[in-house]
Amino acid sequence: MQEFDVVIIGGGPGGLAAAYGLHARGMNVAVVEKDLWGGTCPNRGCDPKKILMAAVEAQGRSEALQGHGLTSVPQLDWPALMATKRAYTAKIPSGTQGGLQSAGIANFHGTASFNADGTLTVGETQLTATNWIIATGQEPHLPAIKGQEWLRTSNDFLDLDNLPADITLMGAGFVGVELAAIANAAGSRVHLVHHSDRPLRAFDGDLVTDLLARLTAEGVDVKLSTDITEVTPADDQYRVTTATGENWTSDLVFATAGRTPVITDLHLERIDVVTSRHGIKVNGQLQTTNHHVFAIGDVVDRPQPKLTPVAGYEGQYLADTLATGDAAAIVYPAIPSVVYGKTQLAQVGVTTAEAATAPDKYHVTDLDLTHWYSYQRIQDPAARIKVVVNQISGDIVGATILSSEAEQVINYLDFVIQNHMTTADINRMITAYPTLASDLTYFN
Ligand SMILES: Cc1cc2nc3c(=O)[nH]c(=O)nc-3n(C[C@H](O)[C@H](O)[C@H](O)COP(=O)(O)OP(=O)(O)OC[C@H]3O[C@@H](n4cnc5c(N)ncnc54)[C@H](O)[C@@H]3O)c2cc1C
Ligand SMILES: NC(=O)c1ccc[n+]([C@@H]2O[C@H](COP(=O)([O-])OP(=O)(O)OC[C@H]3O[C@@H](n4cnc5c(N)ncnc54)[C@H](O)[C@@H]3O)[C@@H](O)[C@H]2O)c1
């Protein structure tokens, strides 16, 4: 039996932030990982996806400048792009584990499972700890349709040797929309199928409609209010059938219909940790129903978006609270989120839906940016922002933006919101001109 102050289960962004934070505060910690050290984000999530996106973005920029100074559109070389991605991801697990080893943080590779006496089994090893942190993340959800066994996932997509000529994506959430943008740019015929008429529900409806219109204009077959009920092999393809009897064939069908918490192996029922279908239940201190067990990151049932910086923030919070005994509840700052692609959709702070519920407090400005210098210069085909302003103070408190530059603008606005900068504060700054930052003075 090996003893620790804290054992962390899951070596992804959440678990690693907690491990390094606790170790730096002098605590004796161990991390357990059953699969790839580094977790979803650097191995099969954010980072590999955005390596593929680099080529997608470059193609989008070139397309916009056809007739405005550029004469040909670059084509994506999938095998070369995948080789570039693999050159990055191949080093992640060993580099991550090597980092833990050099820091002197104990690490165990294997599937962690709790025992009824509150200890943990990892292969042949038994661990015990004063406190535990569960950071086991989520995995792709495979909808229970006929032919479920034929469905591929984002893990498979991000490791395809060759991109097939025709693919179907079942679900138009973050993952579905981003994979559609990549596959479409790389020359595949993409069917992006969503069961309701309102994908990306967390974002402003008008801007989601604009984004789907852009994807359609780029060649994606967007099908809303379409329920896939069956996938069956048909020669060397798959036949996709919907609830209304519509059908087509595709080379591969991907389930992009959300993700589910990874908790089965842990046997949390043995240690009285309560879960829901959305994940592990926690209080404001990220403490589960067992007072010695905490949970962070994607595996937690909470309203905050499931993103890498959120998992890391929660890991740092627990490093502080467990090391100091200070039990102040976690307070989240504004959390920016971006759906990446040639056209990006991003939001931060108060949403337009929240603003609509308090019209006395908030005013929403809807601006077409296509004629602004920053967007005209690059011939951005779709550029629009909705800015939420506090009517009383006149300050920007939220924004949703659609454009090929959205990922940058949203972070500038995050700084403005997080630091409660007033219009006067922004006007007191001199920013390099003409840039996206120099546009900040025009938003309210
Ligand atoms: C395709 C895709 C793209 C994404 N893009 C972005 C993006 O652009 N930006 C962004 O912010 N977020 C993005 N995300 C989300 C991001 O990857 C997650 O929010 C983040 O990885 C969560 O970190 P985590 O530590 O909670 O979980 P994870 O990173 O999932 O790590 C959990 C780890 O726990 C391990 N584990 C599970 N069970 C056990 C067990 N019983 N024993 C031992 N180990 C176990 C798993 O193997 C895994 O390595 C993306 C996700 C996907 C799928
Ligand atoms: N750029 C980023 O930051 C980024 C990228 C990818 C993932 N993520 C994170 O990972 C999380 C998971 O992403 P995701 O896309 O897997 O989930 P998601 O919840 O964003 O989207 C899944 C969508 O599939 C729909 N759906 C559910 N069942 C369906 C069915 N049977 N048929 C068709 N559609 C169905 C859901 O209604 C939902 O809209 C995101 O919420 C986000 O927090 C972030």
- Within 13 Å and on the Cβ side, how many CA atoms surround 309? 8
Compute how many other C-beta atoms are within 10 angstroms of the C-beta atom of residue 432: 8
Nearest atom, ligand 2, residue 200 CA: 39
- Nearest CA residue ID for atom 8, ligand 1: 46
* Dist. CA 405 → ligand 1 center (Å): 26
pLDDT of residue 325: 86
pLDDT at 15: 98
Residue 97 · residue 19 · CB < 8 Å: no
User: Considering the domain 148-257 in this protein, what is its CATH number?
Assistant: 3.50.50.60
Ligand 1 atom with the shortest distance to the CA of 157: 1
SS3 call for 180: helix
* Angle at the Cα of 419 from the Cα atoms of 300 and 205, rounded to 5 degrees: 60
CA of 290 from ligand 2 middle (Å) equals 30
User: Atom 12 (ligand 1): residue with closest C-alpha?
Assistant: 307
| Closest by Cα among 231, 343, 215, 262 to 33 | 262
Determine how β-strand 112-114 pairs with β-strand 120-122: antiparallel
pTM of structure? 0.98
Which residue's CA lies nearest to atom 15 of ligand 1? 307
CB atoms within 10 A of CB 67: 8
Taking the C-alpha atoms of residue 390 and residue 372, their distance in angstroms, rounded to an integer, is 24
143 Cβ closer than 6 Å to some ligand 2 atom: yes
Expressed in angstroms and rounded, the spacing between residue 255 Cα and the centre of ligand 2 is: 10
- Lookup result for tokens 């967390």: 202
Question: Which atom of ligand 2 lies nearest, measured to the CA of 202?
Answer: 20
- Which pLDDT score, from 0 to 100, does residue 326 have? 81
Cα of 421 to ligand 2 centre, how many Å? 33
Q: Is 34 in the pocket of ligand 1 (CB under 6 A)?
A: yes
Q: Is 184 in the pocket of ligand 1 (CB under 6 A)?
A: no
Please state which of the four CATH numbers 3.40.50.10440, 3.30.390.30, 3.40.50.2300, 3.30.1490.20 is assigned to the domain occupying 343-442.
Answer: 3.30.390.30
- What local confidence, expressed as pLDDT, does residue 444 receive? 74
Q: How far is the centre of ligand 1, averaged over its atoms, from the C-alpha of 135 (Å)? A: 9
CATH architecture of 2-140+260-324: 3-Layer(bba) Sandwich (3.50)
**ipTM strictly over 0.90?**
yes
Terminal C-alpha separation, the chain: 61
Per-domain boundaries in the chain? 2-140+260-324, 148-257, 343-442
Would you state the torsion angle of the CA atoms of residues 192, 198, 201, 203, taken in this order, to the nearest 10 degrees?
90
Ligand nearest to the CA of 49: 1
Burial of residue 1, with CB atoms counted within 10 A of its CB: 0-12 exposed, 13-18 middle, 19 or more buried: exposed
Closest residue to atom 30 of ligand 1, CA basis: 137
The domains spanning 148-257 and 343-442 adopt the same CATH topology: no
Do the bridges between strand 252-255 and strand 166-170 make them parallel or antiparallel, or are there none, so unpaired? parallel
CB 119 within 8 A of CB 128: yes
10-residue mean pLDDT profile of the chain (444 residues): values are: 97 98 97 98 98 98 98 98 98 98 98 97 97 98 98 98 98 98 98 97 98 98 98 97 96 98 98 97 98 98 97 98 90 97 98 97 97 97 97 93 98 96 91 95 85
d(CA 417, CA 333): 9
Give the atom of ligand 2 at the shortest distance from the alpha carbon of 143.
31
Ligand 2 contact, 399 CB (< 6 A): no
**Bridge partners for 389 per DSSP:** 363, 396
Nearest alpha carbon to residue 278 among 144, 143, 138, 155: 138
